[in-house]
């Protein structure tokens, strides 16, 4: 796993509208980078919760979704399907396609969803799961990404164990 305190890696990827988005485009004091995809049941299960979180923190944190899956064997993850999902779900954040998979490799992403939280210096402060129950949102008792965001935004340390994300492995070429 990437070590806490590591710097965010630069990227320049196309979003679902064909625009190029780079790390430097994000100006908020915190940045949440989430490697995800359309087809993974884990990613689908937390998608609505991520949208709520993105909306809740819209003025405090930037969020970006990145899909790095190879698409020949996973056609649900093509840029066209990503654009459909982005529009259908009305994502409050960009959804980028990492065709070469270099960004996922640089970040050390391994699954979908894989979540990275960076502070204003773009240093990694949290790498873990969204919450404590990916499958049953009604049974969530700890919203860990929200807790991490609140700690970083208030200038505090994250004072709980960071549990790695669980999900489908990234589909490498």
Average pLDDT over residues 136-153: 97
Instruction: With respect to residue 159, please indicate whether it lies within any of the assigned structural domains.
Output: yes
Instruction: With respect to residue 17, please indicate whether it lies within any of the assigned structural domains.
Output: yes
Q: Is the pLDDT of residue 1 over 90?
A: no
Provide the residue range defining the domain that includes 28: 12-169
112-124 confidence digits (pLDDT tens): 999 999 999 999 9
When the pLDDT of each residue in the chain is averaged and rounded to a whole number, the result is 97
Query: Tokens standing for 44?
Result: 């689908």
8 A C-beta contact, residue 76 and residue 38: yes
SS3 14: strand
pLDDT band at residue 10 using 50, 70 and 90 as cut-offs: very high
- What is the number of domains present in the chain? 1
CA distance 168 to 101: 16
Instruction: With respect to residue 132, please indicate whether it lies within any of the assigned structural domains.
Output: yes
CA distance 86 to 82: 6
For CA atoms 135, 67, 115, 27, the dihedral sign is negative
Instruction: With respect to residue 149, please indicate whether it lies within any of the assigned structural domains.
Output: yes
Max CA distance (Å), the chain: 44
Task: Please report the pLDDT score of residue 152 as a whole number.
Answer: 98
Instruction: Give the Cβ contact number of residue 55 at 10 Å.
Output: 13
Q: Pairing mode, if any, of strands 114-118 and 111-112?
A: unpaired
Q: Is the pLDDT of residue 80 over 90?
A: yes
CATH number of the domain residue 161 falls in: 3.40.30.10
Instruction: With respect to residue 4, please indicate whether it lies within any of the assigned structural domains.
Output: no
Instruction: With respect to residue 2, please indicate whether it lies within any of the assigned structural domains.
Output: no
Average pLDDT over residues 81-109: 98
The residue behind tokens 């982005």 is 86
Task: Please report the pLDDT score of residue 32 as a whole number.
Answer: 98
Instruction: With respect to residue 21, please indicate whether it lies within any of the assigned structural domains.
Output: yes
Task: Please report the pLDDT score of residue 62 as a whole number.
Answer: 98
32-55 confidence digits (pLDDT tens): 999 999 999 999 999 999 999 999
- The pTM of the full predicted model, rounded to 2 decimals, is 0.97
């Amino acid at each position: 796993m990437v070590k806490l305190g590591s710097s965010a890696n630069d990227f320049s990827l196309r979003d679902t509208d064909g625009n190029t988005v780079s790390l430097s485009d994000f100006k908020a004091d915190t940045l949440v980078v989430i490697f995800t995809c359309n087809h993974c049941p884990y990613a689908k299960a937390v998608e609505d919760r991520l949208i709520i979180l993105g909306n809740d923190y819209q003025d405090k944190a930037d969020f970006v979704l990145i899909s790095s899956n190879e698409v020949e064997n996973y056609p649900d993850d093509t840029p066209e399907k990503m654009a459909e999902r982005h529009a259908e779900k009305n994502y409050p954040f960009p959804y980028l396609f990492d065709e070469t998979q270099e960004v996922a490799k640089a970040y050390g992403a391994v699954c979908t969803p894989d979540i990275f939280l960076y502070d204003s210096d773009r240093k990694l402060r949290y790498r873990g799961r969204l919450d404590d129950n990916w499958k049953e949102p009604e049974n969530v008792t700890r919203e860990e990404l929200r807790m991490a965001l609140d700690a970083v935004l208030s200038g505090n340390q994250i004072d709980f164990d960071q549990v790695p994300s669980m999900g489908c492995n990234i589909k490498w070429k």
